[in-house]
Structure 1
Amino acid sequence: MKLYIYDHCPFCVKARMIFGLKDLPVELVVMLNDDEATPKKLIGQKMAPILMKDDGSCMPESLEIVNYVDNSDRKPLLTGKTNPAISDWLRHINGYLNKLLLPRIAQASFAEFATPEARRYFKDKKEASAGRFDELKLHAEGYIKNVNDDLRKLDKLIVKPNAVNGELSMDDIHLFPVLRSLTLISGIDYPSRVADYRDNMAKQTQINLLSSIAV
């Protein structure tokens, strides 16, 4: 199978996670951010991730991909209970996180920005919806303080480093991509349980963190 992705994209990380957790082979194809032709040819619109199955048919939507792959062998891994407190935490931090992340994503050395045109495409699209990046950067210090405060709250919710609620569940699929994205940001203070969980999930899912390109 092939998985068409952007490396920075948390939805793409969700789809990638299930392959790593189940130790299943998948060919990752990183699309240029301004490549509209490829996704439109595969599914009729520009979005990611896109799973191309072995029969050549294509499936969009990260959670549908996760569910399909997890149940394809009739031995699902994501059987644990979810915790409403994790959903509440994610809803809260996602309310402001892009204002901190987007300007940094636009600067970072992701494969989807291999050409100046692809990087400019991302910047123009995101600034149109989120605001000018130079203005967002002025508030970065305050956003980082909010993140550090919120991570201390998350630390109390983590049950085990290999599964946030003690057994793998959809909460892990939603939580790890956010924590991975945060590794792109310098100046974040990670409480011990958050750091252990983040690092353990990176190993389990076979997905690299972004610390090496942090800005």
Structure 2
Amino acid sequence: MGLTKKQKEARAKVDKNTLYSVEDASALVKEITNVKFDASVDLAVRLGVDPRKANQMVRGVVTLPHGTGKDVKVLALVTPDKEADAKEAGADFVGLDEYLQKIKDGWTDVDVIITMPSVMGKLGPLGRVLGPRGLMPNPKTGTVTMDVAKAVKEVKAGKIDFKVDKTGIVHASIGKASFSADKIAGNAHELLSTLEKLKPSTAKGTYMKSISMSSTMSPGIAIDPKTV
């Protein structure tokens, strides 16, 4: 399938031989996004780590200062005494056994699941459904916690978690093409500086090898890691 006229125009605006600053890339990504819907803006960061080694596994959480632009659907799996708190904090679905049953039956229409340590045992058998979809709560990402209300609020406000995939790349969605260039850049800097802090001491050579910003269906814009 050939490129559409718009895609060709978008490609022409991105200089393949240029490494852009985060600010310039954030302005350019808005210019080259030509889809009818509000496209998401993504960063792909290639790291100089070997993700097969446990001590080089890069994963973490970051709160994007300008939010994700997405309405994140949150399920709080909590005991009855915590239900009111979770609802008040903005959880879209709140409950326990009936939702465990729905998930067993194949329902996964949520973006994030937040639960409490005492409930984790009940989620074990659902690993087959939740694991592959990245929905399994994890204490490391703050989604298994006694303070469910706080966790719900943070996720709604733009907290995302990320981890390096087996090819050494971290992919994260950092906003929408409708955001101002300043907001896209602000979110990008926040993610990149968080990644910088997570550099494993055992990683050799260049840590941030390449950074690419793109929106849904747009060409990638290469960012100069030195400007980060």
TM norm structure 1: 0.24
Structure with the greater relative contact order (CA < 8 A, sep ≥ 6): 1 or 2? 2
TM norm structure 2: 0.23
Is the radius of gyration larger for structure 1 or structure 2?
2
Which is strand-richer, 1 or 2? 2
